[in-house]
Amino acid sequence: MSSRAGSGLNGYLVIDKPAGWTSFDVVARARRLLGERKIGHAGTLDPAATGVLPLAVGTATKTLEYLSSASKAYLAEVVFGIETDSYDIDGRLIRQSDPGDITPERLEAVLVTFRGEQTQIPPMHSAVKIGGQRLYDLARRGEEIVRTPRPVVFHRLDLRAWEPPVATIWIDCSKGTYIRTLAKDLGDALGCGAHLGNLVRYRTGPFHLCEAWTMTDLADSALPEAWPDIALHPDAVIQDLPALLLDAGEAIAWRQGKTILTAAPAEGECRAYAEDGEWLGIGRAEPDARGWHPAKVVPGAAA
Q: Are 274 and 182 part of one and the same domain?
A: no
CATH number at residue 7: 3.30.2350.10
What is the structure's pLDDT at 101? Answer: 93
Of residues 200 and 262, the one with the higher pLDDT is: 200
What is the 3-class SS of the chain, one letter each residue? CCEEECCEEEEEEEEEECCCCCHHHHHHHHHHHHCCCCEEECCCCCCCCEEEEEEEEHHHHHHHHHHHCCCEEEEEEEEECEEECCCECCCCEEEECCCCCCCHHHHHHHHHHHCEEEEECCCCCCCCEECCEEHHHHHHCCCCCCCCCEEEEEEEEEEEEEECCEEEEEEEECCCCCHHHHHHHHHHHHCCCEEEEEEEEEEECCEEHHHCECHHHHHHCCCCCCHHHHCECHHHHCCCCCEEEECHHHHHHHHCCCCEECCCCCCCEEEEEECCCCEEEEEEECCCCCEEEEEEECCCCEC
User: Does one domain contain both 96 and 165?
Assistant: yes
Q: What is the structure's pLDDT at 299?
A: 73
The confidence score (pLDDT) of residue 27 equals 96
- Does residue 268 sit within a domain? yes
Q: How many residues does the chain have?
A: 303
98 shares a domain with 56: no
What is d(CA 180, CA 262) in angstroms, rounded to the nearest whole number?
A: 48
Instruction: Indicate if the pLDDT at residue 162 is higher than 90.
Output: yes
What are the beta bridge partners of residue 270? 283
pLDDT digits (tens, 9 = 90+) for 177-223: 999 999 999 999 999 999 999 999 999 999 999 999 999 999 999 98
> 302 lies in a domain?
no
Based on the domain organization, do 214 and 114 belong to the same domain?
A: no
In terms of Cβ atoms closer than 10 Å to its own Cβ (0-12, 13-18, 19+), residue 3 is buried
Q: Is 46 considered catalytic here?
A: yes
- Residue-wise pLDDT for 2-25, tens only, equals 444 444 899 999 999 999 999 999
Mean pLDDT of 41-67: 93
What is the pLDDT at residue 264? 85
Alpha-carbon distance values, 5 to 2, 113, 154, 240, 254 (Å): 10, 49, 39, 24, 17
* Residue finishing a domain among 189, 219, 236: 236
Q: Compute φ and ψ for 208, nearest 5 degrees.
A: -115, 155
For the chain, the distance separating the N- and C-terminal CA atoms, rounded to the nearest angstrom, is 7
My answer on whether 218 and 264 are in the same domain is no
Q: What is the pLDDT of residues 66-117, one digit of tens each?
A: 998 899 999 999 999 999 998 999 888 999 999 999 999 999 999 999 999 9
Same domain for 168 and 91: yes
27 and 103 together in one domain: no
Q: Is residue 261 part of a domain?
A: yes
Is the residue at 303 inside a domain? no
Residues 182 and 76 in one domain: yes
Within 13 A of 69's CA, how many CA atoms are on the CB side? 4
77 and 154 housed in the same domain: yes
Domain boundary among 236, 254, 286: 236
Is 155 found in the same domain as 65?
no
**Residue 77 within a domain:** yes
Phi-psi region of 65 (alpha: psi -120 to 50; beta: other; left: phi over 0): alpha
Indicate whether 12 belongs to any domain.
yes
204, 228, 260 — which closes off a domain?
A: 204
Statement: residue 261 has pLDDT above 60: yes
**Number of structural domains the chain divides into:** 3
Q: Confidence class of residue 235 from pLDDT cuts 50, 70 and 90?
A: very high
For residue 156, which phi and psi values (nearest 5 degrees)?
-145, 140
Which residues form the domain of 86?
A: 72-204
Closest CA to 159 of 73, 50, 72, 75: 75
Q: Are residues 10 and 49 in the same domain?
A: yes
Within a domain: residue 274? yes
Q: How many CB atoms lie within 10 A of CB 245?
A: 12
For range 168-182, the mean pLDDT = 96
**Domain shared by 76 and 181, yes or no:** yes
Q: According to the model, what pLDDT value does residue 140 have?
A: 75
Q: Report the CATH number that the domain containing residue 265 is assigned in CATH.
A: 2.30.130.10
pLDDT in tens, 126-160: 667 777 777 667 667 776 777 789 999 999 999 99
- Classify residue 38: in a domain, yes or no: yes
Residue 300 has pLDDT above 80, yes or no: no
- Active site residue: 46, 85, 88, 235, which one? 46
